Amino acid sequence: MNKLLLTLALLLSLNTLAELRATGDLGVVIEREAGAALIINTTTHKQLAKIDKLGDLSHASVVFSRDQRYAYIFGRDGGLSKIDLLQDKLDKRIIQAGNSIGGAISQDGKLIAVSNYTPGGVKVFSSDTLELVADIPADYGDDKRSKVVGLVDAPGQRFVFSLFDAGEIWVLDMKNPQKPALEKFKNIGKEPYDALISPEGHYYIAGLFGEGGLALLDLWNTEAGVKRILPDYVKQEEKLPVYKMPHLEGWAVAGDHIFVPAIGKHEVLVIDKQNWKLLKAIPVLGQPVFVMARPDARQIWVNFAMPDNNNVQIIDAKDFSITKTLTPGKALLHMEFTPRGEQVWLALRDDNQLVVYDTETLQEVTRLPAQHPNGIFFSARAHKTGL
pLDDT digit string (tens) for 67-96?
999 999 999 999 999 999 999 999 999 999
- The whole-model pTM stands at 0.92
Q: Is residue 215 domain-resident?
A: yes
Q: Residue 207's pLDDT is what?
A: 86
Domain CATH code at residue 209: 2.130.10.10
Q: Is residue 15 domain-resident?
A: no
Q: Is residue 3 domain-resident?
A: no
Question: Strand, helix or coil at 22?
Answer: coil
Q: Is residue 267 domain-resident?
A: no
Mean pLDDT within 143-163: 96
Residues 6 or more apart whose Cβ sits within 8 Å of residue 223: none
Short-list 204, 195, 206, 269, CA closest to 233: 269
Residues spanned by the domain of 171:
96-242
Number of structural domains the chain divides into: 1
Q: Residue 252's pLDDT is what?
A: 81
Q: Residue 246's pLDDT is what?
A: 57
Cα separations in angstroms, 90 against 55, 261, 333, 345, 369: 12, 36, 25, 24, 22
Specify whether the CB–CB gap between 95 and 109 falls below 8 A. no
Integer Cα distance of 371 and 346 in angstroms:
13
Q: Residue 250's pLDDT is what?
A: 60
How sure is the predictor about 211, in pLDDT bands with cuts at 50, 70 and 90?
A: confident
Q: Residue 175's pLDDT is what?
A: 98
How sure is the predictor about 240, in pLDDT bands with cuts at 50, 70 and 90?
A: low
Q: Residue 3's pLDDT is what?
A: 57
How sure is the predictor about 239, in pLDDT bands with cuts at 50, 70 and 90?
A: low
Q: Is residue 151 domain-resident?
A: yes
Q: Residue 15's pLDDT is what?
A: 44
Q: Is residue 387 domain-resident?
A: no
Average pLDDT of every residue of the chain? 91
Per the DSSP assignment, residues forming a β-bridge with 343 are: 358
Q: Is residue 33 domain-resident?
A: no
Please check the confidence at residue 10 and state whether its pLDDT lies above 70: no
Q: Residue 199's pLDDT is what?
A: 87
Integer Cα distance of 199 and 161 in angstroms:
16
pLDDT tens digit sequence for 305-364: 999 999 999 999 999 999 999 999 999 999 999 999 999 999 999 999 999 999 999 999
Q: Is residue 31 domain-resident?
A: no
